[in-house]
A and B are shown apart, each in its own frame.
Chain A
Amino acid sequence: MTSLFPSHDPAPALRRRVLGAIRAEPSPTRQTVRRRAWLLIGLGITVALTTFVQVGGIREYDRPTVLVVLTCLGWSVIASAAAWTGVARGSSMLGRSTASLVALIVATPLALLAWKVGVAVPFGPHMLAPWPTRPGFLCLWLSLAMAVPLLAAFVAVRRHSDPVHPGLAGAALGVTAGVAAGTLVDLWCPVGFVPHVLLGHILPLFAVAALGAWAGRRFLAP
């Protein structure tokens, strides 16, 4: 490739300076980073599961078990896909493409809402009936309480790993944490009323995504 511009060989003194600075500062190897990642993810999941158990765990109420299982299965599949795209980096040192991350952030809440409503419809209209005493704030706070530790773990795992679009990558981590938390909240919450789902189950995704975008800009860039 011809170059219009001259290349600039840095001076030997600069080489000595850079190598000296590198030697003066220890940094974790790949093995250490990997071990730390498993530990952090495990910790995040433990905190989320503990919160889930503390608030009562799985609650079916009048929901058929099949509906609970189907809803959870769908959300789990979406959470897995989100984790594969948002947390794993693929094979590139520059992270996932902007299009993949935007698709994850935009499509995930829509897919979750569609699945939640679509899978409940065949079980009768009462599955989508309003619960006046449950507008959705409890689910909102519970989602946030479980998603934030997961997000913190994801951000710690992916620290220094996205030089191109750290904010977007952070938002994707937020959505992934939100879906994972939402899967647990869905096991706990029997309400299928759409405004409740929007407020208590979908809105937290955007809130955690916004938090993730902030954390990403701050911590994900090398």
Chain B
Amino acid sequence: MSAQSDRPCERAFVSAALGADRGGTALDATGTRAAGDVAMERYAAGDDDAFEEVYDALAARVHGYLRHHVRDTHRCDDLLQETFLRMHRARGTFLKGGAVLPWAFAIARRLVLDQVRRDHRAARVVSEAVPALELAVSPVARPEQVVEARELADRLAATLARLPGAQRAAFELLKQEGLTLAEAAAILGVTVTAVKLRAHRAYASLRGTVGEHLGGLEETVRS
């Protein structure tokens, strides 16, 4: 069966048949496997030089994920190293046709959870403190617009912090990490429907915050 196809329906069929629905084979938009998957496959087969390619393909995203969950920069770097070390130790278990990104995220997530369990102060639990969201503000924006954007970002961050852990995790994996529903479901160990539901509830809460904020602005303008 060829994994290369221009037709979306055929791509979807190939993807499902190869197991991409549960974080199995990852096919990108062109129907080919991601560079990280191919490199990891070579690494699992014994090509030691391929690990640099695996690192280059994944490090920025995994590091971004860790940075979002761990306050301490050095600890974050340590966790990144540990994530790759664990992938390295388990390279012989990498399945042919497997997807390396959800696997790396799952390992990183487990390390973060272990870290949180070990030391609540060292790791940042999102419910305790959330770094300000960085919203893009145009360089020609007026000062009051910048202030408004910052206020909104703070309110969204606070809302995100108040979300139940399950909803927040689903939201982060989908929106922050850009994973598919199937990948997020596999990492969280729940069904796709459950991820959809949790993410939907998270969106609803965040939408509510934006609505309140805009309502407040209208009030200010009217008064």
Taking a contact as CB atoms under 8 Å apart, the answer to whether A222 and B99 are in contact is: no
Contacts of A165 in B (CB 8 A): 189
Taking a contact as CB atoms under 8 Å apart, the answer to whether A92 and B81 are in contact is: no
Known: A5-B133, A93-B103. A222 touches B98 (CB 8 A): no
Contacts of B45 in A (CB 8 A): 29-31
Taking a contact as CB atoms under 8 Å apart, the answer to whether B189 and A98 are in contact is: yes
Taking a contact as CB atoms under 8 Å apart, the answer to whether B86 and A160 are in contact is: yes
Known: A19-B51, A29-B44. A92 touches B191 (CB 8 A): no
Among B59, B97, B175, the residue within 8 A (CB) of A91 is B97
- Is B158 interfacial (CB-CB < 8 Å)? no
A-contact 0/1 string along B167-191, CB 8 Å cutoff: 0000000011010000000111111
Among A22, A28, A93, the residue within 8 A (CB) of B92 is A28
When chains A and B are docked, how far (Å) is the Cα of A3 from the Cα of B133? Answer: 11
- Is A6 interfacial (CB-CB < 8 Å)? yes
- Is A97 interfacial (CB-CB < 8 Å)? yes
Taking a contact as CB atoms under 8 Å apart, the answer to whether A21 and B24 are in contact is: no
Contacts of A92 in B (CB 8 A): 19, 22-24, 95, 98-99, 186
Taking a contact as CB atoms under 8 Å apart, the answer to whether A93 and B95 are in contact is: yes
Taking a contact as CB atoms under 8 Å apart, the answer to whether B91 and A10 are in contact is: no
- Report the minimal beta-carbon distance from B54 to chain A, rounded to whole angstroms: 10
Known: A18-B84, A31-B46, A164-B106. A10 touches B63 (CB 8 A): yes
Known: A27-B88, A93-B98. A4 touches B186 (CB 8 A): no
B-contact 0/1 string along A106-145, CB 8 Å cutoff: 0000000000000000000000000000000000000000
Residue tally, chain A, CB below 8 Å to B: 46
- Report the minimal beta-carbon distance from A40 to chain B, rounded to whole angstroms: 13
Residues of B at the A interface (CB closer than 8 Å) are: 18-19, 22-25, 44-46, 48, 51-52, 55, 59-61, 63-64, 67-68, 77, 80-81, 84-95, 97-100, 102-103, 106-107, 109-110, 133-134, 175-176, 178, 186-191
Residues of A at the B interface (CB closer than 8 Å) are: 1-10, 14-15, 17-19, 21-23, 25, 27-34, 89-94, 97-99, 158-161, 163-165, 168, 221-222
Nearest 4 interchain pairs by C-beta: A91-B19, A33-B92, A1-B178, A160-B90
* Beyond A8-B64, A91-B25, A164-B110, 17 additional pairs, beta carbon < 8 A: A5-B64, A5-B133, A7-B61, A7-B64, A15-B59, A22-B84, A29-B92, A30-B94, A34-B92, A89-B95, A90-B22, A91-B18, A93-B23, A93-B99, A93-B100, A97-B189, A222-B86
Show 13 residue pairs from A and B whose CB-CB distance is below 8 angstroms, ordered by the A residue. A9-B60, A10-B77, A18-B80, A18-B81, A25-B89, A29-B46, A90-B19, A91-B18, A94-B102, A94-B103, A168-B189, A221-B110, A222-B86
